[in-house]
Amino acid sequence: MELRSLRYFTAVADELHFGRAAERLHIAQPAVSQQIARLERELGVRLFDRSPRRVRLTEAGSRVLGAARDALAAAEQVRIAAAGPAGTMRIGTSAGFTTRLERGIDALRESAPTFDVVLVDLPLPARLNALRQGELDLALARGVVSAPGLRVLPTWTEPLLAVVSRNHPAADRAVVGITELADSVLRVPSPQHDLPLHDALTAALREAGVSPRLGRPAGTVQDTIVEVGSDPHSWTVLPADQVAEIRSTRVAAIPLKPAMTITGSVVIPEDLPSPCATAHIAAFRDAVVT
């Protein structure tokens, strides 16, 4: 019996609606139905009475619900115990989150000053999978709308900036229109490397009615900066937080007109208590300017 099945079961029991439970879990409804059906087969009882108009717990379902909540709570206690007495927060991250991580960790330590932090740098797919497997406690990600088995909490918004060689004709501009870069070769991240950023950039260009010339797909952020810096006829787009960490003097970052943005999120396990989720959002959102 998988903990995932119990999580799905408690979500449906809370909502008494498969569709709303699926939305809460950020997964497709058929996946919820399949897990409930599997759990019913394993237990040999029907957990829900279903009709086109309503869903309700059976008598057996009501008995199982309490035990399921106890099992999930016990699993969480095991996870906490494994972290050690002081507590350890394992955060999935990647390039371009340094300032946000520093600010967020400081904010979290205001209420829990003794916990340790372990940062795990992983590509986005591996980051999300590690979170599903319980190897991480939370992850930061850009452009993620949903992730099966996880909760995606939109937390901040970053401008996307054009990055060009210092020898590019637009390098000294205070702002640049996307159409003005159409003659240069655009280096976008490949879907395999960063699907959310790739999709966000592609959608923004489509909405702007621009079809730039596409060059070879970009690799890592560091490699892309070096390659663009060496080629005055190419450009790329990066989130502002990543741009802030660029140390190269061979590129320039320019605000785009019309503006393009990408949403950053805290991604957490689906069963993390709401107060913890609220605290994570407050910690990693944009700094309040006073």
Q: What pLDDT is recorded for position 91?
A: 94
- SS percent in the chain: helix, strand, coil, step 5: 45, 25, 30
DSSP-derived secondary structure letter, 218: B
Cα 103 vs. chain centroid, distance in angstroms? Answer: 18
Helix (H) or strand (E) holding 8: helix 3-15
Q: What pLDDT is recorded for position 76?
A: 62
Helix (H) or strand (E) holding 202: helix 191-207
213, 132 contact by CB (below 8 A): no
Question: Is residue 255 reached through a cis peptide bond, with omega within 30 degrees of 0 on the bond before it?
Answer: no
Could you tell me the domains of the chain? 3-80 (1.10.10.10), 83-155+264-284 (3.40.190.10), 156-262 (3.40.190.290)
- Which SS3 state, helix, strand or coil, does residue 20 take? helix
Q: What is the dihedral of CA 276, 24, 193, 118, to 10 degrees?
A: 20
What are residue 99's phi and psi, to 5 degrees?
-65, -40
- Bridge partners (DSSP) of residue 255 are 161
266, 155 contact by CB (below 8 A): yes
108, 80 contact by CB (below 8 A): no
CA angle 72, 28, 200 (to 5 degrees): 110
Q: What pLDDT is recorded for position 85?
A: 43
Of the candidates 142, 144, 171, 173, the one whose C-alpha atom is nearest the C-alpha of residue 159 is 142
Instruction: Work out the number of other CB atoms within 10 angstroms of the CB of residue 19.
Output: 12
Q: What is the pTM of this model?
A: 0.66
Q: What pLDDT is recorded for position 261?
A: 87
Q: What pLDDT is recorded for position 271?
A: 81
Q: What is the pLDDT along the chain (290 residues), one digit of tens a residue?
A: 788 888 889 888 888 888 888 877 778 888 889 999 999 999 999 999 988 778 899 999 999 988 888 887 776 655 555 544 447 889 999 878 999 999 999 988 887 777 788 899 888 888 898 998 888 999 999 988 888 889 999 999 999 999 999 999 999 999 998 888 888 998 877 776 677 777 777 777 777 777 778 888 777 777 888 899 999 999 998 899 988 888 889 999 999 988 888 899 999 998 887 778 888 899 999 875 44
Q: What pLDDT is recorded for position 14?
A: 84
Q: What pLDDT is recorded for position 288?
A: 58
